[in-house]
A and B are shown apart, each in its own frame.
Chain A
């Protein structure tokens, strides 16, 4: 067993050594860490003993269940309950000279970090961000100076490492003040790269960050991967909207007709779907290729381009110009609203800009909805 000075780390023997020392008895090195009512996380490989207690060493390789649940989370299923326990972890063979990487306790973030750390020995300090990613948590104040300082103290980090340095992801800077962390904990914050896959290069390069590592990107894949959640979020409101559509579609010459509600309801439902696909999928994915910088206007453009051929396709079922106009307006308005909503998921829109857009477009969208409902009822006569 390696014995290191009291300020260092006392590392427990590896699994093999334990197996040898226990002679022929089949041994379970994890048995010491079994507790009634607890289940070991699949990403924990083993534990090491340190002066700050037993620390789990995590795997850098993602398992099948990790990938499966990543898929779930990307679709918006149980997204708010996808967390890891905050605290200190290790990866590889961490010792008292290893770097401490700070991250959030959203499991997707945690997985994203550890899969980039194959062949790297480091400590990982997971803050309690309530299962939210680093940047969003920093913006909302859970990835914060106080949380970082508290975790450094709770984990007695000064007993784990001999240096006074912690690597904080750059996007955490929105919630962290390097100066205050230094004052309150004695640890110096080094802002690491934005993306986890730049960490190996960053560590190899003596903690130097390239210019490219400092800037956010929003490429086609990064936009596409966000769209399932965008669609999932609107499912419930869309269902309510559909109900209202069927009711509105029932108004006609006989005051209210159920057959009208059904026939015309189905047609208007198509317009709703077109709006959702346009604002929640097409606009986000094709974002830089759609003219205008205003998201609401991007949504109007994409919505117009998409709904015209769709309405032409079902033209025989629509009565008159007013019916066309009603469905077109409705579809485009839904698209515009959802596109505007997507500003919240992008890494380049300013709150001041979004406010300006909302002030301009929400009244227009509301007016358009009212006009479209009026036209739709009128077209039934």
Chain B
């Protein structure tokens, strides 16, 4: 979200570019536009917008993404 931002440097989001197969599903499911496709690979372009909802993790076919929030 552009106008409303939460705390920086807290997200537990990790993207393993080696494992990414470039399906772009993460860019589709992320509600905060955290990812963008560049050269057929997913890139994190807005790390601090991540709210750890886990949609990308659930849908990544190659298990290239992880988030591990606590109880929240």
Does A175 reach chain B (CB closer than 8 Å)? yes
CA distance A51 to B52 in the complex (A): 42
Bound Cα distance from A209 to B28, whole angstroms: 9
Known contacts A216-B31, A217-B1, A356-B7: A174-B55 contact under CB 8 Å: yes
A352 touches B52 (CB 8 A): yes
B41-63 interface with A by 8 A CB criterion: 49-56, 58-59, 61
Number of A-B contacts (CB under 8 A): 103
Shortest CB-to-CB span from B40 to chain A, Å, is 19
Q: A355 to B6, alpha carbons, bound, how many Å?
A: 12
Q: Are A179 and B49 in contact (CB under 8 A)?
A: no
Residues of chain A in range 314-363 having any CB-CB distance to chain B below 8 Å: 343, 346-357
User: What residue of chain A has the Cβ atom nearest to residue B53's Cβ?
Assistant: A174
Contacting residues, chain A, for B38 (C-beta < 8 A) = none
Complex Cα distance, B8 from A171, in Å, reads: 23
CB distance from A281 to the nearest CB of B (A): 17
Q: Which residues of A contact B7 (CB under 8 A)?
A: 293-294, 350, 353, 356-357
A218 lies within 8 A of chain B by Cβ = yes
Query: B15 on the interface (CB 8 Å rule)?
Result: no
| Complex CA–CA separation, A355 to B52 (angstroms) | 13
Task: Assess the A177–B32 pair: CB atoms within 8 A.
Answer: no
Distance, CA A168 to CA B25, complexed state (A): 13
Instruction: Assess the A173–B59 pair: CB atoms within 8 A.
Output: yes
* Residues of chain A contacted by B11 (CB below 8 angstroms): 350, 352-353
Q: How large, as a class, is the contact surface on chain A? A: 35 or more
With known contacts A215-B33, A354-B72, A355-B71, A349–B6 Cβ distance under 8 A:
yes
For the complex, what is the distance from the CA of A353 to the CA of B1, rounded to whole Å?
15
- Interface size on B, as a range, is 20 to 34
- Chain B residues with CB below 8 A from A153, complex form: none
Asked if B1 and A214 sit within 8 Å, CB to CB, the answer is: no
Chain B residues whose CB sits within 8 angstroms of the CB of A293 once the complex forms: 5-8
Closest CB of chain B to A178's CB: distance in Å?
5
A187 within 8 A of B: no
B31 adjacent to A355 (CB under 8 Å): no
A170-B28, A214-B31, A216-B32 known; A351+B59 contact, CB < 8 A: no
Q: Is the CB of B49 within 8 A of A173?
A: no
Residues in B neighbouring A214, C-beta threshold 8 A: 28, 30-31, 33
Q: Cβ of A139 < 8 Å from any Cβ of B?
A: yes
Whether B25 lies near A178 (C-beta < 8 A) is: yes
**If A352-B11, A353-B7, A355-B72 touch, does A194 touch B59 (CB 8 Å cutoff)?**
no
Query: In whole angstroms, what is the CA distance A217 to B29 when docked?
Result: 15
Residues A215 and B32 in contact in the complex (CB < 8 Å), given A287-B4, A357-B7: yes
User: Once the chains bind, are A352 and B59 in contact (CB under 8 Å)?
Assistant: no
8 further contact pairs, Cβ within 8 A, besides A170-B29, A351-B72: A174-B53, A176-B59, A177-B58, A214-B33, A347-B51, A350-B69, A351-B69, A356-B7
25 A-B interface contacts by CB (under 8 A): A171-B31, A173-B28, A173-B58, A177-B58, A178-B59, A179-B59, A216-B1, A216-B31, A218-B1, A218-B4, A288-B3, A288-B4, A293-B6, A347-B1, A347-B51, A348-B4, A348-B6, A348-B32, A349-B51, A350-B6, A350-B10, A351-B70, A351-B71, A353-B10, A356-B7
A residues sitting closer than 8 Å to B (CB atoms) are: 135, 138-139, 170-171, 173-179, 191, 194, 209, 211, 214-218, 287-288, 293-294, 343, 346-357
